[in-house]
Structure 1
Amino acid sequence: MSQVTLKIEEGIACISVVRPEALNALNREIVDEMDQLLDQVEKDDSARCLIFYSEKNFAAGADIKAMAECDEEGAKAFAFSPVYNKIADLPLPTIAAIEGYALGGGMELAMTCDIRIAGESAKMGFPEVTLGIFPGAGGTIRVPRAVGEAFAKELIFTGDAVSAQRALQMGLVNRVTADTDVYAEAEKMAKRIAKRGPVAIRMVKEVIRRGLEEPDQNRAIEIEAEQWARLFTTYDQKEGMKAFIEKRKPRFENR
């Protein structure tokens, strides 16, 4: 039986882990299943936004029993980084809808997403140092970029889980909502995004990424200007501006 599910409805894709007996903890098989589902999402032209959501617990880390006996080569084989990088590089926007625990590899999964929404009772953190290791699936790289060096070191050095409100203060999540509304809030945002110009959304996600990686700010702005100008060759740009002038909703065609 599959431990990961995918549904795509009205332009919104959702990938969920179904392993409640282990608080949706991740293992190699689950991440490999996720990898295959990502390919399906990318091939589906109807998908405009992808939500990662699992009931009650987002993902309470990685499967420690599966890692405990790893040697160096085994640890490299177990690593989730290639799949997590694939998520981060997806052209469509991604949202992590976080209920319950998002710890270790689970929180690293959330950090691959563009936007994070947490329930008010959610607990998030990186407890790896309590096991004699540290985050190894992008956590030490993505977290400092998201919240700054000092907060990242506090989270990773202590291994302590933080509340949703503390995570919001740090900038670890975008917003906090009632536990019962987490998925609904993520879906609401995803539907808003899905109504926007899809070519522009894909392109601006890439521009933001390249801008963050480019050390020369002026060059980053040049990249922005180049890509912005390219949009004026697209159908969606013509339709979007025509609709504005005609005071109607645009009918984007993703081209």
Structure 2
Amino acid sequence: MERQEVSLKKEGGVVLLRVERPKRLNALSQAVVSGIREALDEIEVDPEIRVLLIHGENNFAAGADIQDMVKCDEQEAEEFVFSPVFDRIAALPVPTIAAIEGYALGGGLELALACDIRFAAETAKMGFPEINLGIMPGAGGTVRAPKLIGASAAMELIFSGETIGARRALELGLINRLEPEETLFEAAWKFAVHLSRKAPIALRIAKNTIREGIAMDSESAAVHNESKRWASLFNTEDQKEGMRAFLEKRTPIYKGK
């Protein structure tokens, strides 16, 4: 499917969402975010989708488009904010992967942080430059970054507005994997396909259980919840298929039932 500045392409169980605004380094305008919102409308109701991969060729997304924001007052800024769309990405039940090359700055980094897993090219650059514009991250950056890399490291990035390289991002835990620039997309795509062949119900329940556990104050309650979720999978055909395939030394064929 094609739409202005955002494309959506499904192949097997993987759907690829691409920001396509190369002349602006894939900066996130209202039109781009609206395109992502429309894409999510389709993704959320498609039962065949097992993995979402988000990518921007040459640049993931060089922040929000400043031209769209420079004259905003407080009320207009509240209407401009991208977080409702990014929250929908974070809430998707299927695994989500960001493939980062070039710049992922400000809102672009926040888009990547809304995903479950992040691959980055060795030449990628990331950061929260908002403080240099008299503002701060406003689409999840002050929430998701501290949870991922710790409050102190997140504060360093947000307070300084500095841009860091991909290797430093890997050291901090901001990204999961580092890849050569020329093979980044291929590596992320292969991983997405790999996940799409796993038991889809188990993937969804595992993702939800992780999120529930993080939100719980009690470790014992989280472990009890995990046990209940784990046991529920024994009501699925996929569990029977997976274990039979293991015993029969063959590749399982999961149907999501």
Class of the TM-score when normalised by the shorter of the 2 chains: over 0.9
Matches within 5 A, 1:146-225: 146-225=148-227
Task: State the shift of 1:139 in Å.
Answer: 0.3
Task: State the AA in 2 paired with 1:73.
Answer: Q
Following TM superposition, by how much is the alpha carbon of 1:122 offset from its aligned partner in structure 2, in angstroms? Answer: 0.4
For residue 29 of structure 1, report the CA deviation from its aligned partner.
1.7
- Pick one of 69, 79, 82 that aligns with 1:77: 79
**Could you say which residue in structure 2 is the equivalent of 1:62?**
64
Offset, 1:195: 1.2
1:112 alignment counterpart: 114
The equivalences for 1:125-144 within 5 A come to 125-144=127-146
Deviation at 1:44, TM superposition (A): 2.2
Residues 45-93 of structure 1, C-alpha deviations (whole Å, 9 max, x = no match): 2211111001100000001111111111100100001110000000010
Alignment gaps of 5+ in structure 1: none
SS class of match (1:43)? coil
Pick from 243, 249, 252 the counterpart of residue 251 of structure 2.
Answer: 249
CA distance in 2, matches of 1:78, 1:42: 23
Cα distance in 2 between the residues matched to 1:81 and 1:10: 29
CA distance in 2, matches of 1:182, 1:35: 25
Q: What TM-score results when the alignment is normalised by the length of structure 1?
A: 0.98
Q: In the alignment, does 2:51 pair up with 1:32? A: no
- 1:49 maps to 51
Is 35-44 or 208-217 further displaced after alignment?
35-44
| Deviation for aligned residue 1:191 | 1.2
Q: Does 1:102 align with 2:104?
A: yes
The root-mean-square deviation of aligned C-alpha atoms, in Å, is: 0.8
CA deviations on 1:115-171 (whole Å, 9 max, x unpaired) are 000001100000000000000000000000000111101110100010000000000
* Other structure's SS at 1:37 match: helix
1:190-209, Cα deviation, whole Å (9 max, x unpaired):
11111111000000000000
Q: Deviations over 1:171-214 (max 9, x none)?
A: 00001111111110101111111111100000000000011111
Distance in structure 1 (CA, Å) of the matches to 2:219 and 2:60: 36
Cα-to-partner distance string for 1:1-37 (whole Å, 9 max, x where unaligned): 6110000012111101111110000011211110111
Q: Tell me which amino acid in the other structure corresponds to 2:53.
A: I
d(CA) in 2 for partners of 1:83 and 1:194? 23
Percent identity over the alignment is 50
Residue 227 of structure 1 is matched in structure 2 by 229
CA distance in 1, matches of 2:38, 2:221: 36
